[in-house]
Amino acid sequence: MSLRRTLPIIVALLTLCVSSCDTQFRSKEVTRVETTVPVLEDVKIIDAKRFLNDLKLSPFWKVERDRSGALLAKARSIGPEHHFGDGSSEFLFKFMKDKRKDLGELRIYNDYLRGNELFSSFSAIVVFGPLPKTGVTLIKGGEKTSVPVHESYDSKIGPNSSSQVAVRLSDDQDVFLVVYEQGSDPKRATTWKMLPGIVNELKSVASLPKEYLVIEKYTDLFSLLFPDTKPDHRIQRLPGMQDRDTFYGFLKATGEWNPEGVNIKISHPVYCGGEGTRESSRKQKAEYLGAPFEREQDRLFFLIEDNAVYLKHPYDADFGTFSGSKSFEGTLEIIDGGGKSIVTTKDQFKGWER
């Protein structure tokens, strides 16, 4: 995954997690937006744990742990692989709501919208727990607000300038929608345009029935991605930059494995010296899939990006992304949250080189 793809979301999450002692790294305010927040639907979250579980079950959100160990849900996006800045990126839930029937050259990502003429990147994250004391402006629908725009590299607003606003989703529990916009638009037009649709999507999640099947609730997406959901599992692969590939698919929710922290492991006993993926890295990218209501009948969607394979010296000469011309057969495993191997298969891999 390239730096321009990873930098915006890293900045967003670091802004959420930065402590008050890190003042030397904080950005400065370069402008301020004075506006009235659009009227927003009322999201009635009665049980935060149930709401979190519904987000875990939804293919439209990726639930993971941040650096502090807290769970957060990131809205997945869909867009072209290489055309950064062409404005065609959108949230996956919006893509499916518009009844799009063909992916074409588009692919699904676990994070932010890629930029257009208005913004460099844009993300929607549901945070469970208190907001940081600085860096995020709490807003309410229909009310006037004043939102600062910060910049780390210059004294005026530019492509790297960022703003964050938060909407409380529960009256008595710490559940917030945090919207992050990066770019040079002084009005933050994308934030105000996108907020109502994001809140409406969260309202639909909060309004789900007490019990449902994931493959029925999200049947349009499953039908679009998979020819058949009857097998116990399916794994599909998308090539990534410099052989850091994405794996996605579904798993049968049998109850015999832990869905809280599913991740990808790639190994070879010789070329990798065992595991080729780094355990700490793959656990950081692990997905929390939640508990379905009908385990034997249901299927859980997963998508894990940026799976790099690290080779032992001197095997880069044969199988390295830049140095080698060949691939090797390695073992691909889906690992559950307890470290148990759920699915084991073979595939061809090359090693990632810095």
CATH of the domain at 293: 2.60.40
pLDDT at residue number 3:
34
Domain stop point among 161, 179, 206: 206
CA distance 17 to 30: 22
Among candidate residues 175, 206, 237, the one where a domain is terminated: 206
First to last CA, the chain: 12
47 and 134 in a common domain: yes
Taking the C-alpha atoms of 63, 67, 68 and 73 in order, what is their torsion angle to the nearest 10 degrees?
-20
Tell whether 227 and 331 lie within a shared domain.
Answer: yes
Of 177, 206, 235, the last residue of a domain is 206
199 and 222 belong to one structural domain: no
Among candidate residues 319, 342, 338, the one with its CA nearest the CA of residue 329: 319
Cβ atoms of residues 85 and 114 within 8 Å:
yes
Residue 149 has which token pair? 């725009």
Domain hosting residue 153, numbered range: 3-206
Neighbours of 61 (CB within 10 A): 25
Total Cβ atoms within 10 A of residue 353 = 16
Is 129 a domain residue? yes
Same domain, 199 and 246: no
pLDDT of res. 227: 93
Are 179 and 237 contained in the same domain? no
Please tell me whether residue 235 adopts helix, strand or coil conformation. strand
Q: Which residue is listed with tokens 């998308």? A: 238
Domain identity same for 300 and 199 = no
Q: How many other CB atoms are found less than 10 A from the CB of residue 47?
A: 12
Q: Check if the beta carbon of residue 316 is closer than 8 Å to that of residue 230.
A: no
Which residue is it, tokens 């809140």? 199
For residues 226 and 279, membership in a common domain is answered with yes
The reply to whether 268 and 295 lie within a common domain is: yes
> Residue 15 corresponds to which tokens in the numbers above?
């802004």
**Per the confidence metrics, is the pTM higher than 0.85?**
yes
How far apart (Å, rounded) are the C-alpha atoms in residues 251 and 247?
13
Whether 282 maps to a domain, the answer reads: yes
Residues 90 and 179 in one domain: yes
d(CA 6, CA 306): 10
pLDDT digits (tens, 9 = 90+) for 141-165: 999 999 999 998 888 999 999 999 9
pLDDT of the residue at 86: 57
pLDDT at residue 26, as a whole number: 60
Are residues 174 and 272 both part of a single domain? no
What pLDDT score does 83 carry?
A: 53
The whole-angstrom separation of Cα 71 and Cα 257 is 20
Q: Within a domain: residue 354?
A: no
Q: What stretches in the chain show pLDDT beneath 50?
A: 1-25
Count CB atoms within 10 A of the CB of residue 21.
7
CB contact set of 227 (below 8 Å; sequence gap of 6+): none
Contact assessment for residue 182 and residue 161, using Cβ atoms and an 8 Å cutoff:
yes
Asked if residue 196 and residue 227 are part of one domain, the reply reads: no
Overall number of domains in the chain: 2
CB 113 within 8 A of CB 78: no
Structural domain includes residue 182: yes
**Together in a domain, 137 and 261:** no
Residue 240 CA to residue 306 CA, distance in Å, equals 7
Q: Which residues of 133-160 are buried (b: 16+ CB within 10 A; e: fewer)?
A: eebbbebeeeeeeebbbbbeeeeebeeb
